[in-house]
Chains A and B, each alone.
Chain A
């Protein structure tokens, strides 16, 4: 377990470095949102999800991932490149004219299931995928990542109702609960608390973790047995901009590009962390 955690922690730092580079290439990106969900994505793609293989991207038994908070696309591009779905060299085309690597998930890229970007769609899409799996007696699992700001979309709650109604215990949703959105604190923009109780009242199994950037906590929550007949919600309390001293919990880092100095400092800090972790492993 310890070695798995450390390996994933190393991976997450590599992903963070890649995100910084992608945003540097494109001179645009949702830095804060990406860093917030990096550990969730790393845990899913490098440990939890089954049959995710760039050589067989259409494997019918692959687990499905839908990123409802589509604007954190840079994190997904970094992870998919790291998994080998496309050459890392292509990351340099991010945001450039005609590139496949746009600011939201794009199914022209292998490894992307469905297009997202408009908030509040992912959960219902995942309900459809999970429901189809049930109907076909398939064992694949469907994962969805949502932001906490997007919970203000009414369609999220339509999906939440349907997931419980159809007893989709082959569906796990994660809320990246970093507490911030573009305008300010999520609870001030449109309060959604008490979140755990809300989803429980909607018929979900809910697991809340106080550090959604902790690989160990994430692994434990994903590994917690699914209650039969219930969809599972993981409320992951994360830090927006996690890993960047200048961006952590800063509202203005929702969508911002690091200066040259910030970039160099961040990369150096990530390299130092990598050195420590590599020595520990």
Chain B
């Protein structure tokens, strides 16, 4: 949390580093790409472990089925393809060949959310969490920064369960200052404690959530910040605890306001607890185009707006 240096390493580069290291130790680790090795920063992997890389060309249905077939034959498949296509065009293959057949496939959606912000709705993946988390037997997660990417992919290399992982394209500001912390799939991390309000974030919105907490602190409001890196299985305990111990919850996500992190939290709260909850995310419209920062700011995934929301919720 004590970052300050501006990070220049994108999460996908860290992913490649981990896959390369783990891939040398376990030759069953197989990476599949759909003409996406460059955008996935997997060129080093392809060069070092060519037998463990399968190129399927631009065919996102194929990449998932082939990954599933290989996993059925003992491989640990990582199908890496732009999130917008992997989570939509291939979703039936994800449902049937991966989740239903229970194959050890990790679906890595790269350049997720609005990472391709200027390219328009075809290249935005803002419904992927809603779609994937509704599928049984499929974990869903997003790393907050490069350190969490490393921890997450190390865990994924040793996990036998199907999962969808969304990562962005550009370097993100650090949330952590090292990998020296405990990471567990399905277990949220409370990055900052506080008793007035809770902000729950995931992926690239974790850093703005922390920045919001810092601002609020200056105004005498203590905000708890939870990094919900795993959307499914959801750490319900930490949400219920926040509902009991703080006065309101804000969720903030690079995803449609429908069906993503906010939706998952609301489902938990409506089941268990009543507390004011504001979902901050991308409005239900073809998202405005621009770079990530611009789009984030436009939809309020930014400390300026989040601070206001927090104060409103607390009546301040």
Contacts and interface: CB of A to CB of B under 8 A. Distances in A.
Most chain A CB within a 10 A radius of its CB, from B67, B68, B69, B75? B69
Most chain A CB within a 10 A radius of its CB, from B67, B70, B73, B103? B73
B180 interface: no
Contact of A127 (B30, B51, B66, B100): B66
Interface string A115-151: 1111001001111111111011000000000000000
Given A128-B67, A128-B70, A129-B70, A155 B62 contact: yes
Interface in B55-88: 56-57, 59, 61-62, 65-75
A212 B102 CA distance: 33
A92 B73 CA distance: 32
Nearest to A127: B66
Contact of B61 (A114, A135, A154): A154
B93 interface: yes
A107 B103 CA distance: 11
Interface in B178-194: none
Interface of A: 60, 64, 107, 113-118, 121, 124-133, 135-136, 154-155, 158-159, 161-162, 165
Contact of A121 (B57, B59, B65): B65
A125 B74 contact: no
Given A128-B67, A154-B61, A133 B73 contact: yes
The secondary structure that dominates the B interface is helix
Given A127-B69, A128-B70, A132-B70, A115 B101 contact: yes
B304 interface: no
Interface residues of B, number: 27
A98 B72 CA distance: 25
Most chain B CB within a 10 A radius of its CB, from A64, A113, A131? A131
A124 to B, nearest CB: 3
A28 B130 CA distance: 35
Nearest to B92: A118
Contact of A114 (B30, B56, B72, B74): B72
Given A114-B97, A118-B92, A118-B96, A128 B51 contact: no
Contact of B72 (A128, A155, A162): A128
B23 to A, nearest CB: 13
Which 4 residue pairs spanning A and B have beta carbons closest together? A128-B69, A124-B65, A132-B73, A158-B62
B157 interface: no
28 contacts: A60-B74, A114-B68, A114-B97, A114-B101, A115-B101, A118-B92, A124-B93, A125-B68, A128-B68, A128-B69, A128-B72, A129-B72, A131-B54, A131-B66, A131-B70, A132-B70, A132-B72, A133-B73, A135-B51, A136-B73, A136-B74, A155-B61, A158-B59, A158-B61, A159-B62, A161-B57, A162-B56, A162-B57
Nearest to A70: B96
Contacts of B56: 158, 162
Given A158-B59, A159-B62, A117 B69 contact: no
Contacts of A116: 96
A115 B62 contact: no
A136 B67 CA distance: 15
Contact of B65 (A117, A127, A135, A165): A127
Interface of B: 30, 51, 54, 56-57, 59, 61-62, 65-75, 92-93, 96-97, 100-103
Contacts of A126: 69
Given A124-B61, A132-B69, A158-B61, A107 B102 contact: yes
Contacts of B59: 158, 161-162
Given A155-B93, A159-B66, 4 more contacts: A114-B101, A155-B65, A158-B61, A161-B59
Given A117-B96, A162-B66, A129 B61 contact: no
A60 B73 CA distance: 8
A158 to B, nearest CB: 4
B67 A107 contact: no
Contacts of B92: 118
Nearest to B96: A118
Given A118-B96, A124-B62, A155-B62, A132 B101 contact: no
A20 B306 CA distance: 65
Contacts of A129: 69-70, 72-73
Contacts of B62: 124, 127, 155, 158-159, 162
Nearest to B59: A158
Contacts of A158: 56, 59, 61-62
Contacts of B74: 60, 132, 136
Contacts of B72: 113-114, 125, 128-129, 132
Contacts of B30: 135
A159 B97 CA distance: 14
Contact of A124 (B66, B73, B101): B66
Given A107-B102, A115-B101, A118-B96, A125 B69 contact: yes
Nearest to B60: A158
A161 B65 CA distance: 14
A131 B66 CA distance: 8
Contacts of B97: 114-115, 121, 125
A72 B102 CA distance: 22
Nearest to A132: B73
A127 B93 CA distance: 14
Contacts of A107: 101-102
